[in-house]
Amino acid sequence: MVRLTIDERELQAEEGATIFSVARDNNIYIPALCSNEAVAPYGACRLCLVEISSNGRRKLVASCLYPVEEGLVVKTNSERIVNNRRMIMELLLARCPNNKTIQDLARQLGIGETSFKLEDNQCILCALCVRACQEVVDVNAISLVNRGINREVAAPFYEPSDACIGCGSCAYICPVDAINFEDIGDTRYIKWPTSSMEFKLKKCKTCGNYWAPEKQLDYIIKKSNLAPNAFDNCPDCRD
Ligand code: SF4
Ligand code: FES
């Protein structure tokens, strides 16, 4: 265990934990958009900046990446942090001015409008969808492509990805609802910022409801070595 101070609270934490996770576990709020416990930290949004003092030096770090250390002193709301966070929030608001989550968070941080040039994106390039696809589903159907202002989430070569199993994990994890999916009749429709795909849903042998993408079920059967008929029935109709 290491001892540290966050906002003048003396805390103990497991070695290797990040400042962000220790703050969260102790009900200390740090704004964040690209952090999710299901995937490894990535440090994309920079909203989680905190100020640390260690060995007489002070600096700003991304709390979701920075591991705690003995004697660390952390401030989550100094004037320097607030100013930096406001600037980051203004940039995000300029990138996605019509996104409700961004608007709400900006308001919460005291930002009414942005002084940067307005764009019209929904995606903040946090890569949570890409990381969930790679690390949780183990599929790699999407990635961040291109550089600079052309950076975006896309399937390889902008083609509907054969690898995608239609599980919708990317939509569930997206913090700003930039990915949507909907099941209508026997089809699941997934819409990413730059593309869309359709997936045939499996029909339950007992109740007749369409309940999950056939590709996703085939993937689970293969990966877990289940019997080919393991998903003939939906969860409600299984013994
Ligand atoms: S689509 Fe959503 S989860 Fe994916 S990078 Fe953009 S904002 Fe993040
Ligand atoms: S939550 Fe730390 S950089 Fe986004």
In a domain, 232, yes or no: yes
* Ligand 2 near 64 CB (within 6 A): yes
The rounded Å distance from CA 129 to ligand 1 centre is: 5
Given 77, 96, 119, the domain boundary residue is: 77
With the most atoms of ligand 1 within 8 angstroms of its CB, the residue from 126, 134, 151, 170 to mutate is 126
In this structure, the residue with its CA closest to atom 7 of ligand 1 is 123
In a domain, 30, yes or no: yes
Which ligand is closest to the CA of 175, given by its number?
1
Do 142 and 203 belong together in one domain?
Answer: yes
* Ligand 2 near 32 CB (within 6 A): yes
Do 137 and 222 belong together in one domain?
Answer: yes
What pLDDT, on a 0 to 100 scale, did the predictor assign at position 57?
A: 84
Do 133 and 231 belong together in one domain?
Answer: yes
Do 223 and 141 belong together in one domain?
Answer: yes
Do 135 and 71 belong together in one domain?
Answer: no
Given 77, 104, 137, the domain boundary residue is: 77
Do 146 and 206 belong together in one domain?
Answer: yes
Helix (H) or strand (E) holding 187: strand 187-191
Do 137 and 215 belong together in one domain?
Answer: yes
In a domain, 93, yes or no: no
In a domain, 97, yes or no: no
The rounded Å distance from CA 238 to ligand 2 centre is: 41
In a domain, 108, yes or no: no
Q: How many domains does the chain have?
A: 2
Q: What is the pTM of this model?
A: 0.93
The rounded Å distance from CA 97 to ligand 2 centre is: 20
What pLDDT, on a 0 to 100 scale, did the predictor assign at position 156?
A: 77
Contact 84, 60 (CB under 8 A): yes
What pLDDT, on a 0 to 100 scale, did the predictor assign at position 239?
A: 72
Do 147 and 221 belong together in one domain?
Answer: yes
Structure tokens at 180: 């949507």
Give Cβ neighbours of residue 60 (< 8 Å, ≥ 6 apart): 49, 50, 51, 52, 80, 81, 84
Range of the domain at 27: 2-77
The rounded Å distance from CA 35 to ligand 2 centre is: 6
Of ligand 2's listed atoms, the one at least distance from the Cα of 46 is: 3
DSSP codes joined into one string, 120-166: --S-----HHHHIIIIIS-----EEESSGGG-EEE-GGGSPPTT---
We report the CATH number of the domain holding residue 39 as 3.10.20.740
* Ligand 2 near 67 CB (within 6 A): no
The rounded Å distance from CA 123 to ligand 1 centre is: 5
In a domain, 121, yes or no: no
In a domain, 113, yes or no: no
In a domain, 229, yes or no: yes
Q: What is the pLDDT along the chain (239 residues), one digit of tens a residue?
A: 999 999 999 999 999 999 999 999 999 999 999 999 999 999 999 999 999 987 778 999 999 999 999 999 999 999 999 999 999 999 999 999 999 999 999 999 999 899 999 999 999 999 999 999 999 999 999 999 999 889 999 887 777 788 999 999 999 999 999 999 999 999 999 999 888 899 999 999 999 999 999 999 999 999 999 999 999 999 999 87
Do 66 and 136 belong together in one domain?
Answer: no
Do 209 and 132 belong together in one domain?
Answer: yes
What pLDDT, on a 0 to 100 scale, did the predictor assign at position 21?
A: 97
What pLDDT, on a 0 to 100 scale, did the predictor assign at position 56?
A: 79
Do 64 and 132 belong together in one domain?
Answer: no
CA distance between the termini of the chain: 46
Do 72 and 138 belong together in one domain?
Answer: no
